[in-house]
Structure 1
Amino acid sequence: MTTSHRLAPVIEMTARPSNRDFDLNPSYGTDRGQVEYDFDGVLIGTAEYAEGPTGATVISVPAGARTFIDRRGGAIGVTGLYAYNHAICLAGGSVYGLAATAGVEETLFERVGFRAGFDQLQLASGAIIYDYSVRENSIFPDARLGSAALRAARQGVAEVGLVGGGASASAGKIDPARVEMTGQGVAFRQIGDVKVLVVTVLNPYGVIVDRDNRIVRGNYDAATGERRHPSADYEDAIGESRLADPVAGNTTITTVVTNVRLSDVELRQFGLQVHSSMHRGIQPFHTQLDGDTLFALTTDEVSLPADPATSRGRLSLTATAIGSMASETAWDAILCAAG
């Protein structure tokens, strides 16, 4: 299904049907295709309620991974916030979609035979996007859907587009009439033994910009066939006319996983570096109308050189270098989500 130039309807917020009004069953849709990746021990699953549409995406790391979580913007919705996780859940449904993470944890609990020793606890953190402004109901990803996404998780391939947590994601919400659909993006890079995997659900207030500084998604004027940078709209509005009321409730939620062993300080800086870099592909980003969250995970499998200075005359493999590689991978994932 092609989503190019597909404008998102903006719905008046009134009492609307929700989960109890439908016989909901998880579905496993496809949209723009799949992205392959080579990262042992990291699985990705998606599931949706097609009646929404809304959904959940689960990044599963059965062996567990140390985690740093970076939260920015004015409308953040998260749960868990653990420094160590066995799964990350990215879902629609706004605050109600946080229930999907509870379903992930319950299924993880089941998988260990409901053993509840302190060192056996299965941990999942999650974040949500507000996807109600582009659909006519209030269906949300519940615990059943989160469980379904985890059970669907597989290694080596991930769906992209309007699937999982990105089933009703959209961008460019300066003017409600110019909103465009986006979705879920996935990107993978490997250099030598170093691996980076990024999964993002793209639902920002801002527009999506490619590496040639072209706006490729959002703020699309159907009358002219053009997309405008928000700054141009702001400049035109100063002293002349007010802008249309922007669409509230926007969020980009992202998971970046590396196999490089990083200290707690390095992992934190890695997450900050990657999240900050996403400003290049999303403009503006981290606004008062956004609630952006990034989960940075390491599986601690590949060690950096003990003494980077030993690579005299060459660039050293450092945590900053890994962050730079991951930042480019995040931009790839953004453009993948934008279609």
Structure 2
Amino acid sequence: MALNLITDVVGLAVGHASDPVLASGVTAILFDPPAVASVAVLGGAPGGHDTTMLEPHMTVERIDAVVLSGGSVFGLDAAGGVQAALREAGRGFRLGPAVVPLASAAILFDLLNGGDKNWGRFPPYRELGYAAAVAARPGEFPLGTVGAGAGATTVTLKGGLGSASAVTPSGHTVGAIVAVNAVGTATLGDGPWFWAAPFEQGTEFGGRGWPSQVPPEALELRIKRAPGTSTTIALVATDATLTKPQAKRLAIMANDGLARAILPAHAPMDGDTVFAAATGRRPLADEEDLTELGHLAAMVLARAVARGVYEATALPFPGALPAWRDRFG
């Protein structure tokens, strides 16, 4: 039975590592076998590791992992921890006796959320990355204030780690995982309604739908006023067989899922980095099949955003933002 998680795509394993005192964490998504991958970055303030190699004109075709991390630039160390765990497992690109795991990563800013960031000389993200990779398993994993979503926030509510999945009419599975640390809001005004409500399946994020009339204040600009405190990062994955240029197109189309779930999106101080990975278990029929895949990926990512906020719990610090459930039950 489908789990409504990115691990519904066969060949993926997800692991989290969180530090409640630090109020931050890492999520590692491992591919077995390695997956064709690309990335689309539409925010003005991204942070990434080994993302350039994912462009269609670059040589590398497949990667072993995608890493989502808190910690701003310090969180880039998480990729090294994931690579260490993969190397211990004998996984990676082989050049003679050398084994080189390939892990692309994106980070979000959670340094001002009340957690203790006085970690001394070296930040803890390499160890958190290692722990997340070792913990990675297929199947179920928790959502909300966990992994890369541990310290995430939106302008009005606690952010978090979300995931969702679906199947296209032609039979391809599509999944998304996202750490929601948006400069804007995932909900309408001061109410419980999610911008992603039209795409909700069942009651996966409360079943509230939209209000009978959108309140005017919901359309007003609401953003974090502290500069550089945002960045939403995500991965969409599919079991379809894609070329690297097709994976790039999938990432671009899926990135619009952020614009359907967060207002505003693609802002100067957001990251809006979306990776796309294809495990290659089912061939595409034609370009229309790819369009169908990208269309669904955007909706699945929008749902994952709402689930990340819906499942979050508030941080236990003075002045911390409330969680959705604190305000709306």
Determine if the TM-score, normalized by the shorter chain, exceeds 0.5: yes
- d(CA) in 2 for partners of 1:158, 1:108: 20
Moved more, 81-90 or 281-290: 81-90
- d(CA) in 2 for partners of 1:136, 1:74: 26
Match of 1:186 among 163, 170, 181: 163
> How many residues in Structure 1 have an aligned counterpart in Structure 2?
274
Letter in 2 for 1:171: T
Match of 1:121 among 84, 100, 113: 100
The answer to whether the 8 Å contact 1:39/1:155 transfers is no
Q: CA RMSD in A?
A: 2.9
The answer to whether the 8 Å contact 1:248/1:289 transfers is yes
Letter in 1 for 2:105: G
**Residues 128-167 of structure 1: matches in 2 within 5 Å?**
128-138=107-117, 139=119, 140-167=123-150
C-alpha change, 1:113 and 1:158, in structure 2 (3 Å) is closer
The answer to whether the 8 Å contact 1:39/1:156 transfers is no
C-alpha change, 1:304 and 1:282, in structure 2 (3 Å) is same
Bigger proportion of residues as strand:
1
What's the offset of the Cα at 1:262? 1.8
**Residues 87-126 of structure 1: matches in 2 within 5 Å?**
87-112=65-90, 117=95, 120-126=99-105
- d(CA) in 2 for partners of 1:112, 1:258: 25
What's the offset of the Cα at 1:136? 3.9
What's the offset of the Cα at 1:114? 9.0
What's the offset of the Cα at 1:288? 0.7
Letter in 1 for 2:230: N
Instruction: Provide TM-score, normalisation by structure 1.
Output: 0.73
What's the offset of the Cα at 1:228? 4.5
The answer to whether the 8 Å contact 1:204/1:251 transfers is yes
What's the offset of the Cα at 1:249? 2.1
Percent of paired sites with the same residue: 27
Instruction: Provide TM-score, normalisation by structure 2.
Output: 0.75
Match of 2:174 among 184, 192, 196: 196
Q: What does residue 211 of structure 1 align with?
A: 197
The answer to whether residue 170 in structure 2 is matched with residue 170 in structure 1 is no
- d(CA) in 2 for partners of 1:298, 1:50: 33
C-alpha change, 1:320 and 1:182, in structure 2 (3 Å) is same
What's the offset of the Cα at 1:326? 1.1
What's the offset of the Cα at 1:276? 2.1
C-alpha change, 1:141 and 1:77, in structure 2 (3 Å) is farther
- State which structure, 1 or 2, has the greater radius of gyration over its C-alpha atoms: 1
Letter in 2 for 1:109: R
Q: What does residue 291 of structure 2 align with?
A: 320
What's the offset of the Cα at 1:247? 4.9
C-alpha change, 1:34 and 1:137, in structure 2 (3 Å) is farther
The answer to whether the 8 Å contact 1:133/1:247 transfers is no
TM superposition outliers: structure 1 runs of 4+ over 4 Å = 33-37, 113-116
Q: Which string of whole-angstrom CA distances, capped at 9 and with x for unpartnered residues, describes residues 175-205 of structure 1? A: xxxx320100011112464111100000010
The answer to whether residue 276 in structure 2 is matched with residue 296 in structure 1 is yes
C-alpha change, 1:228 and 1:246, in structure 2 (3 Å) is farther
Q: What does residue 255 of structure 1 align with?
A: 235
The answer to whether the 8 Å contact 1:93/1:141 transfers is no
Q: Secondary structure at the match of 1:159?
A: coil
Match of 1:333 among 304, 307, 312: 304
Q: Unaligned regions of 5+ residues in structure 1, if any?
A: 1-32, 173-178, 217-225, 235-242, 309-316
Q: What does residue 322 of structure 2 align with?
A: none
Q: Secondary structure at the match of 2:42?
A: strand
Larger RCO (alpha carbons 8 Å, 6+ apart): 2
The answer to whether residue 25 in structure 2 is matched with residue 47 in structure 1 is no
Q: Which string of whole-angstrom CA distances, capped at 9 and with x for unpartnered residues, describes residues 93-112 of structure 1? A: 10001111111011111111
- d(CA) in 2 for partners of 1:56, 1:227: 37
Q: Secondary structure at the match of 2:68?
A: strand
